[in-house]
Amino acid sequence: MRAVYRKDLRSHFASASSYMFLAVFLFFGGSYFTRFVLAQNTSEVTEIFANTSVLMVLLFPFLTMRSMAREQQIGTDKLLLTGPLPIVSLVTAKLLACYTVFLLSLALTAIFPLLVFAGGNVSAGEVLVSYLGFALFGLAVISLGVFISSLSAHPLRAGLVTAICLIILWMTDSILPNVANPALHSLLSVFSLFGRLEEFQYGFLRLSSILYMLSFAAVFVLFTCKSISLHRENKV
């Protein structure tokens, strides 16, 4: 598993898409920090995440689109799937490689709260909860992206579908407060990924939200494993 993780991580930093992810993520993080925190002279650092989570809809696909699709595109999935590595280890390694790039970019944003810490009054707990929420949100979204990447041999197509799915999830959360039908409301709540993230951003640390994010990721890891197994049925 470590071999695939190292290979993928290396591949992330050898490709433009990961650098694009890092650059755009940090650029917008910095912009929001300047606009909402520095310019308005507040200490609401978590506002940055409230705004960047929407941006992530368009950024995460860059990170995940190649993970499985590229292997299928160049045929190297044959090397991986005919080796002794179990499918679940392969999927986990690929997920963790994407997640490491995400965590790195998240870690780099720590400069913003640290700057505020230096010159103002910030609730450390609130910031940490916000970071935890964003880290879990990233894990969930990346697992979805890796799953979609396993469905296609075309990275761009996988990226586009991931973006569309994330937009649908985001819109689901937007319309959720206006849904009057209780059955439909509870059904749509199952997909309330952005809603759960919001809870963290407000400083609420709920076990149910942590478990939701982890379960979301686990379900899509299992879906990815199943998708690869089913693909074996259709391979020439």
Partner 1 sequence: MIEAKMLYKNFGASVAVNDVSFTIPDGQITGVLGRPGCGKSTIANILAGYTASSGGSVSINGYDIERHPRRAKAAIGYLPANNPIYYDMTVREYLDFLSRLHRLPRRQVPGRIAWVSDIMGISEYLPHLILNLDRGVIRRIGIAGALINDPPILLLDQPTAGLSPADTREIREILKSLRQDRTMVIFSSYLAEVLELCQHVLVLNGGKLIANDSIANLRALAGDKNRLKLSLHATLDQLRRILSSMESVEDVSAQPGLEEGALDVILESGVDTDLRPQVWAACARENIPILEMKYLNVSLEEIFLQLTGKIQGGD
81 near partner 1, rule: CB under 8 A: yes
| Count of Cβ atoms closer than 10 Å to residue 88 Cβ | 14
Question: Which one, 74 or 184, has the nearer CB to partner 1?
Answer: 74
139 near partner 1, rule: CB under 8 A: no
Count of residues in contact with partner 1, rule CB under 8 A? 26
6 near partner 1, rule: CB under 8 A: yes
* Nearest distance in Å: CB 82, partner 1: 4
**What single-letter DSSP state applies at residue 129?**
H
| Cβ-contact 8, 94 below 8 angstroms | yes
236 near partner 1, rule: CB under 8 A: yes
**What single-letter DSSP state applies at residue 36?**
I
Question: Which one, 77 or 126, has the nearer CB to partner 1?
Answer: 77
The long-range contacts involving 75-82, CB below 8 angstroms and separated by at least 24 positions, are 80/4, 81/228, 81/232
Of 34, 76, 174, 186, which one interacts with partner 1 (CB under 8 A)? 76
119 near partner 1, rule: CB under 8 A: no
14 near partner 1, rule: CB under 8 A: yes
Distance in angstroms (rounded) separating the CA atoms of residues 196 and 185 = 15
- Residues whose CB is less than 8 angstroms from the CB of residue 77 and which lie 6 or more positions away in sequence, other chains included: 68, 71
- Residues 21, 27, 28, 29: is their CA dihedral positive or negative? positive
Of 16, 39, 41, 84, which one interacts with partner 1 (CB under 8 A)? 84
Of 58, 85, 135, 210, which one interacts with partner 1 (CB under 8 A)? 85
Task: List residues near partner 1 by CB under 8 A.
Answer: 2-4, 6-7, 11, 14, 74-86, 229, 232-236
